[in-house]
Structure formats: structure tokens, C-alpha cells
Amino acid sequence: MNLTTAFGKYALPVFGKALPTMGETERAALQAGTVGFEGALFAGRPDFGRLLSMAPNRLTEREQSFIAHEVRQLNAMLDDFAIDEAHDLPPEVWQYLREHKFFGMIIPEQHGGLGFSHYAHAMVVTRIATVNIAAAVTVMVPNSLGPAELLLHYGTDAQKDQYLAKLADGRELPCFGLTSPYAGSDAASIPDVGILTERDIDGRMVRGFNVTFNKRYITLAPVATVVGLAFQAVDPGRPEGSQSLGITCALIPVPTAGMDIGRRHLPMNSAFMNGPIRGDNVFVPMDWVIGGEANVGQGWRMLMETLAAGRAISLPALGAAMQQTALFVMNGYGQIREQFGLPIGKFHAISALLARTAVDLYATDAARRYTAAALDAGERPSVASAILKVHLTEAGRRAVTDGMDMLGGKAIIRGPSNLLGVAYRHAPIAITVEGANILTRALIIFGQGAVRCHPHVLDEMAAVQAQDPQALGLALRAHAGHVLRNLWASLVGAPLRGKPPAGLEKEAQLIANMSAKYALTADLAMGLLGGKLKRMELLSERLGDVLSALYQASASVWRYHVEADEQMLPLARAAIRVQLAQGARTLRGIYANLPSAALRWSAPALLRGTRRLAPLRDHHLVEIADDLRNRTRQLTNLCPDVGTPKSGGLCDLMEALRLAEAVRDELPMLNQSLRRTHSLEEAAQQARDPSAALAYLRAADRVIQVDDFPR
């Protein structure tokens, strides 16, 4: 027996106790998807050559045409306030969505769909969401986790032939029932049960399941014509202890005997369709199981594998839309609204809100675009998807909240002229659904990352499970070398792998250094706490937050490289440094809370250099806000997806900003004259072109006014 095998044999019982226990559902979640650049960050070895080799986002001519025409036309049909009041989309909008196959973006052309890329899919949802979130959710759900995605990957040929073309053109509207009243975040423990049985149908005995279920929070349920359902399959004919077959996914047409569907939930009183689904002894023939009898019990694996991609698209698109809309509104309103004789956007307190939103948006949208490019390259990055879901939706909430603060009284008066009120009400929905952020941040990003992204932990777990001392010894030897390399890099500086874009060399070096410190910290935390770390959620979420900051900073390097716009360099630098400053603060918080005095004492040496990563200084914030006002290309680059609605406050703001261009150099004089005369007409007479000036002043007045209603 060699030394490596002997060490592995000695370590087997120790690691068997230290490593967390893992059930089959958890194993399926951990093994879902692939590992991308986030794995290199977790290992402390980011290679910028590899990062920059990721192709830029591209649209086909057909995708470009769809966004330029069909999406633009759809947005022109959407009145945010009217839809919110009606609690539904207008009939003509539903019809338009069906006719132009908005529900079939992910379905290939050979099955009657549009066959769009992940990037195009995300862009469509984002552009709709900047105008009306309810319409975006309605489009988003059939193209996200649900029947179409599951059928494409796991359905039988007969099931694909039966459903895909009808799902694509809206003849069938799908929903998917997973969440139950007693199984929310712990979705794998769904109590809904299907008992294997046989039933006589038209003189023929048909195998299937009698399923009793109670689902809630199901988007599109009230209007669905086919229900995707997850349930626990049980075979009572098996011996005691082996009757559970596992989570199974099936498709149930509406109506089906025993199924009750059609009532509504009103998430934050929103207009998109959502409601409960209940069933009592609903017979589900084996042909309705997605993939047929061979896929009975495979539902959780199927869901986790599809979620690895879907979670990176839909809800991050909503978060990006909220950020872009908020920044566009803040910047535009800041130029039109005056107080104390100045546009409010020039006040430094407002400038800070604008700049922080812009810097946040650059980094989060860089991560979203990079991940979409990875998906289109064939990757299925499950950890990165979780990062996007948490941080894009949180950034959307921050942006809308800051926008509400800036708008003041204008923000809180309900009506067609309100600019952000509906989005403000919607923000918690994106935070909560498809894995609540508090859970995803505390358990999934690092919990999954520690196993999937670490270069050696998965090998160690496999060796322990197989009781293979030689494999464990080899994995531990490699792991020890990994720790020593990152210890050295943390103390003296990490090597810079690959060539970053010109102008971001220092930022790339900072990313490399922090990646090494993070990798070492993760190993120290896992080595010290073992399986207990899984239950120490505050430490786990901090470890996930540092990985998230590194991922967004790295994506910002990639974004600057592929856009090749030197005008955006200050914003790219700011975005990277803000993410790294947040990561550094979080690293210090990890060491401050580790239950080891020795590690707390060693923290200053291991984290050397991180205190110099200060947040943006005041003059940087003011300069960024000034650039947003004066360099229209910057705002266009940050907010490319903001669409034009049918009517309402956003439409009024766009019109006022358009008309302002004709009198831009006269705006201070016009506003001063208006304060003196209190007359739009008299103030306009002072301009070179009174008609252009009056058109602008009237449009600006519409933006400033709020709505009132009869008593």
C-alpha cells in the first residue's frame, strides 16, 4: 500500500463524518448543469484569455427583425396603467401574442416555434418588461421552466407532435404546478401523491396514476389549457420501504375530471394570471408522463437540469428591465424637473443615485449577457444562473427604489402618469419566485458552488461514497496543493493569466488576487466547519456573495472587451471596483465570524490589500452622472431595451426628451422665464423658435403633473 492510499484509508472515516449527507434530490440539484468561468473563480485561477474567448452576443437577421418589428408593435399596444386597472391584458394583445408566436420562442422551427437563441429570448422579455411587466411575465412563463422546455428535452415523439406546435402558436397555453402550500422553498418535498394503478378506459386497461394534489402560485393557471404537474409517484405493489418511485412530471389537459382550475391569486395585485390548481384522484395515464413510463421518478432531475438554463433568462430579464427603466426615468426626469433654479439631476445627492444605478447596471447586465453567451455556446451554468437570479432581481429592486426616492411626490401618486409605481409593486415578485432569493443566496450559490465549482471536492465526495481510499488519497493530495498555491497567491499576489483588455489590466489583477483569497477562504471555512457549514447560512451566503461579486466583475471585463467602446471605460472600471469593494468587505465579514481565533488573527495577512478597494469617491459619482446627461451614447449603451409604450408617463417622458433637443441650449432661459411668468405661452415667446419651445414646455409640464380622480 503506497503512502497516498494509506492516507486515503486513514481519512475515509474522518471525511465520512465531515462531509454533509446528501439525498438523491439534493444530488440531482448539485449535479445539474455545467461549470463555466465561475469554476475558475472558485478555484482561484481565473484565466482572462479564456474569459475573453467567449463570443459576443449576436442576433440572427430573423431575431433582429422580430425585435425591431413584432416586439416594438407589441409594446405600442401596452398601456401599463390600463392593464393594471383591468387585471388582464387586452384581448387584442393576447391575440397578437398568439399570432406572432411569442409563446414559442424556445421551440425549434421544425416544431412550429421561433427557435430563438437564449440571448434573443432574454432581449424580448427585457424589452417587453420595460413597458409592462404583466405582459412580460405572460410571455416569459411558457418560454421558461415548464411544459415546452421539458417536452423538448425529455418528451416522447408523440408528446412533441401533440403539443409543441400548439404551444408555439398559443392554441395551448401552459402552466406548471410545482409549489404546494406545505412545500415552498423545499420543493423537493412536495406532498402531492400519485398512486400507481390501472383503469378501464373504453374497454382497455390503462396504467397510470391516481393523483391528488394542491398547488398554488401557478402563473397562467387561470387561463391554462394544459397543466404541467410534479408529484410523488408511489407503487403500493412494491415491498414496504421501496414504494416511492420519486418525483414525476406529467401533462394534464384542461379540463380533466377531478381537476379544479380557474380561480386567481393576485400577486401584489398584478395583472398577470396566477392561481391555484387542485386535483382529487385525477387519473394520469402513463402516456401523460413526460417521457413516458421510462421517466417515472426522474422529474426532479429533469426540473433541475432545465432550471440550470431557464433561471438565467427570465427573472434576470425582469431585473434588467427594472434597472434600465429606472435609470432612463431618473436621468430624464432629472433633466426636466427643476428645483431651486437647477435641474434636479445636477444636485449631488441625485447624481449619486444616478451613478450608483448606472454602475450597478453595467455589472449586473454584463453578467446577464455573458451568461446568455455561455448558454448559446452550449453551456448550462447552474451556479451562474443562481447568481443572476439573485443579483439581477435585487439590483432591479434597488434601482426602482432609488428611482422612487428621486421622483418624490411624483412617484407615489397612482395613475397613468406614474413612472415607476407599478414596477415598484412588482419588484418583490421577482425576488420571491423561482427560488426565493433568501434561500438561493443562503444555500444554493455557495452550497452548489462548493461542490460543482471546486476542483477537488466532488472527487472527494465520490471517493468517500465509493469507499475508495486510493481515489480519496489522490484527491486530497491535489486539494492540498490547491490550498498551498492559493495561500501563496494570497500572501504575495496571484499571477495574471491571459491578457485583459487595454485599460483594465489593474482591475484584472485585482480580480485574480481576490479570486485566490476567496478560494483559500472557502477551503478554510469548509475545512474548519465541514458539513456544519451547510447549516451556517450567514457564512454560506457571504461566501456566495463574494463569488457573485467576482463573477460580475469578470463579466464586466468581458463586456468592455466585446463592446470595444473606450467611452465606457470609466464606467467599466467603476463597475469592477465597486463589485470588488463589496467582495472585500464580505471577505472581512467572513473572517470576523469564523469560529476560530487563529483564522480571525490571520485575516489581515491573508486579506492584505483588500482595504484599498474603496468605493467610488464623490467626484467619481458626479462625473458619471454628468456623462449620462451629456453623452447620450452612454445612456443608450446602458439602457438599450427601454421600449415605447402605447401611452402613459414613460411615453410622456420620452416625448419631452425628444422635444428638448430642439431647444437644449435655451432650456435654462426657458425655465427661468417660466418661473417668472407662470405661463407656458409667455415663456415660449422668449425662444428663437416659440412653437418648438412651447411644444417642449407643454410636454415637460405633462411629465411634471400627476393624476387626480373624482371623489
pLDDT digits (tens, 9 = 90+) for 349-407: 999 999 999 999 999 999 999 999 999 999 988 899 999 999 999 999 999 999 999 99
Asked if pLDDT for residue 533 goes beyond 90, the answer is: no
Domain presence at residue 322: yes
Question: Is 293 designated active site?
Answer: no
Asked if pLDDT for residue 677 goes beyond 70, the answer is: yes
Is the same domain home to 67 and 132?
yes
pLDDT tens digit string along 186-242? 777 889 999 999 998 888 999 999 999 999 999 999 999 999 999 999 999 999 889
* Region of poorest pLDDT, from 57-66, 268-277, 607-616: 607-616
Rounded distance between C-alpha atoms, residue 651 and residue 665, angstroms: 23
pLDDT at position 21 is 59
Listed residues 289, 309, 329: the one ending a domain: 309
**CB burial readout 558-578, b (16+ within 10 A) else e:** bbbbbbeeeebebbbbbbbbb
CATH number at residue 268: 2.40.110.10
Listed residues 638, 657, 691: the one ending a domain: 638
Asked if pLDDT for residue 656 goes beyond 70, the answer is: yes
Of the chain, the percentage scoring pLDDT greater than 90 comes to 77
Rounded distance between C-alpha atoms, residue 264 and residue 563, angstroms: 44
Give the structural domain span for 55. 1-145+311-638
Asked if pLDDT for residue 18 goes beyond 80, the answer is: no
Listed residues 286, 309, 332: the one ending a domain: 309
Is the same domain home to 51 and 121?
yes
- pLDDT band at residue 616 using 50, 70 and 90 as cut-offs: confident
Which residue shows C-alpha cell 402563473? 219
CATH number at residue 602: 1.20.140.10
- As for how many domains the chain has, the answer is 3
Rounded distance between C-alpha atoms, residue 171 and residue 620, angstroms: 53
Is the same domain home to 455 and 598?
yes
Domain presence at residue 413: yes
- pLDDT band at residue 25 using 50, 70 and 90 as cut-offs: low
- pLDDT band at residue 30 using 50, 70 and 90 as cut-offs: low
Is the same domain home to 556 and 662?
no
Asked if pLDDT for residue 308 goes beyond 60, the answer is: yes
Is the same domain home to 358 and 302?
no
Is the same domain home to 315 and 298?
no
Asked if pLDDT for residue 666 goes beyond 60, the answer is: yes
Domain presence at residue 269: yes
First to last CA, the chain: 89
- Are the C-beta atoms of 380 and 307 separated by less than 8 Å? no
Asked if pLDDT for residue 652 goes beyond 90, the answer is: yes
Domain presence at residue 187: yes
Write the burial class of residue 80 (CB in 10 Å: 0-12 exposed, 13-18 middle, 19+ buried).
buried
Is the same domain home to 332 and 304?
no
Is the same domain home to 273 and 377?
no
Is the same domain home to 422 and 555?
yes
pLDDT at position 465 is 77
Vertex 154: Cα angle to 151 and 157 (nearest 5)? 70
**CB burial readout 239-265, b (16+ within 10 A) else e:** eeeeeebbbbbbbbebeeebbebeeee
pLDDT tens digit string along 158-173? 999 999 999 999 999 9
- Are the C-beta atoms of 68 and 129 separated by less than 8 Å? no
Which residue shows C-alpha cell 408523440? 158
pLDDT at position 630 is 87
pLDDT tens digit string along 411-468? 999 999 999 999 999 999 999 988 889 988 888 898 888 888 888 887 877 787 778 8
Rounded distance between C-alpha atoms, residue 9 and residue 277, angstroms: 53
* Region of poorest pLDDT, from 21-25, 146-150, 410-414, 556-560: 21-25
Asked if pLDDT for residue 1 goes beyond 60, the answer is: no
- Are the C-beta atoms of 424 and 401 separated by less than 8 Å? yes
Domain presence at residue 87: yes
Mean pLDDT of the chain: 92
Look at residues 436, 621, 472, 451 and name the one whose alpha carbon lies nearest to residue 543. 451
Look at residues 640, 636, 651 and name the one whose alpha carbon lies nearest to residue 77. 651
Vertex 429: Cα angle to 428 and 435 (nearest 5)? 105
- Are the C-beta atoms of 134 and 89 separated by less than 8 Å? yes
Is the same domain home to 610 and 572?
yes
* Region of poorest pLDDT, from 19-23, 30-34, 609-613, 666-670: 19-23
Is the same domain home to 302 and 356?
no
Cβ contacts of 294 within 8 Å, gap of 6 or more: none
Domain presence at residue 159: no
Q: How far from the centroid of its chain's Cα atoms is residue 89's Cα?
A: 24
- pLDDT band at residue 98 using 50, 70 and 90 as cut-offs: very high
Strands (E), 467-544: none
Asked if pLDDT for residue 266 goes beyond 80, the answer is: yes
Is the same domain home to 82 and 141?
yes
Domain presence at residue 150: no
Of the chain, the percentage scoring pLDDT greater than 70 comes to 97
Most confident listed range (11-25, 204-218, 292-306, 620-634): 204-218
* Region of poorest pLDDT, from 11-25, 94-108, 387-401, 517-531: 11-25
pLDDT tens digit string along 552-596? 999 999 999 999 999 999 999 999 999 999 999 999 999 999 998
Task: Return the H-helix or E-strand segment holding 219.
Answer: strand 204-219
Domain presence at residue 168: no
Q: Which entry of 70, 434, 507, 655 is annotated as an active-site residue? A: 434
Asked if pLDDT for residue 138 goes beyond 90, the answer is: yes
